[in-house]
Amino acid sequence: MPLLAFLALAALFPFLPLGSRAEFLLQIAFFTLVAGIMALSWDILARSGQVSLAHAAFYGLGAYGYALLLKAGLPWALAMPVAALLAGGVSLILGAVTMRLSGMYFAIATLAFTEVVRTIIQNLPENVAGGATGLLVPALLGGNSRAQYALAWGLLAFTVLVSLAVRLTRLHFAFAAIRQGEETARVLGVSIVRFKLLAFFISSSLAALAGVLYAGKTFFINPLETFSLANSIAPLTTSIFGGLYTTLGPVLGAGVLRVAEELLHNSVKNGYLVVYGLVLMLSILWLPRGLMGLRRGRKHGGDL
């Protein structure tokens, strides 16, 4: 019920009397939805016990893939899912290579992968991907802010449905078994390789969709910002703050942190770094179950 209420409020937001700052507020709300997609997609991967720092890579691959597909002549409605699937395909390669790694070693490998992808994109010929300078991207939906917001809301709702589908099917039990220990999962007959790769594919494809939204909204992408470490740290922090292994938690966390980031933006340089740093420390010390842990009588790891 709280999840439905959150989505309903988000759907109604553009129709509120926002006054003269309507465009600015819609932009903040748009990127809040994007942050929700990123956090929830990262959480889906974390449910299988994989703590990845490659989300920026797939976010960027989605953005660049979308831009290059548009240059090739594909309509935006086709370029969006194709870019997401291509990023998902790349994740299968990364997943296969890092399959035997876990914990800190897996995280470092995924971080290195992000840097490799950024370097490759940056060194492509300028007439292909813009090089280090960047690449212009046609405005999504003609630059109509309300239409862009509606699309972002729809993709967040889709991500929520995917998260709930994972929760309500045998994927939930397979992911949980792997997270608890691969030896235990093997005893239970869980195909570790198959389910870890599936988690990676789902998570990365959704992150790529968030990247598409970013590219279409900002009209311009460059390797330094698109593949920024912040785009890997933010979904991790947001998911932990909201509540790991839940559906509402990461989405709720995105809303709270995005507002906090905006409040600090004008008073503190790189305010988002302050927000995410403090949130991560406070969550570990006092909110180990995140915001969702504040709900009394709720079992850890449940979904809403």
User: Is residue 211 in some structural domain?
Assistant: yes
Per-residue confidence (pLDDT) for residue 266, from 0 to 100: 65
User: Is residue 248 in some structural domain?
Assistant: no
Q: Domains in the chain: how many in total?
A: 1
User: Is residue 124 in some structural domain?
Assistant: yes
Per-residue confidence (pLDDT) for residue 242, from 0 to 100: 93
Which of 91, 66, 116 has the alpha carbon at shortest distance from 218? 66
How far apart are alpha carbons 250 and 252 in whole angstroms? 5
User: Is residue 214 in some structural domain?
Assistant: yes
User: Is residue 131 in some structural domain?
Assistant: yes
User: Is residue 268 in some structural domain?
Assistant: no
Per-residue confidence (pLDDT) for residue 282, from 0 to 100: 78
User: Is residue 237 in some structural domain?
Assistant: no
Per-residue confidence (pLDDT) for residue 286, from 0 to 100: 83
Per-residue confidence (pLDDT) for residue 301, from 0 to 100: 45
Q: pTM for the complete prediction?
A: 0.94
Domain with 175 in it: 24-228
Task: Give the CA count within 13 Å in the CB-facing half-sphere of 98.
Answer: 26
State which residues of the chain have pLDDT below 70.
1, 266-273, 275, 296-304
Q: Do 84 and 208 form a contact (C-beta atoms < 8 A)?
A: yes
pLDDT, the chain, mean: 92
Per-residue confidence (pLDDT) for residue 260, from 0 to 100: 82
User: Is residue 256 in some structural domain?
Assistant: no
Main-chain dihedrals φ then ψ at residue 277, nearest 5 degrees = -65, -50
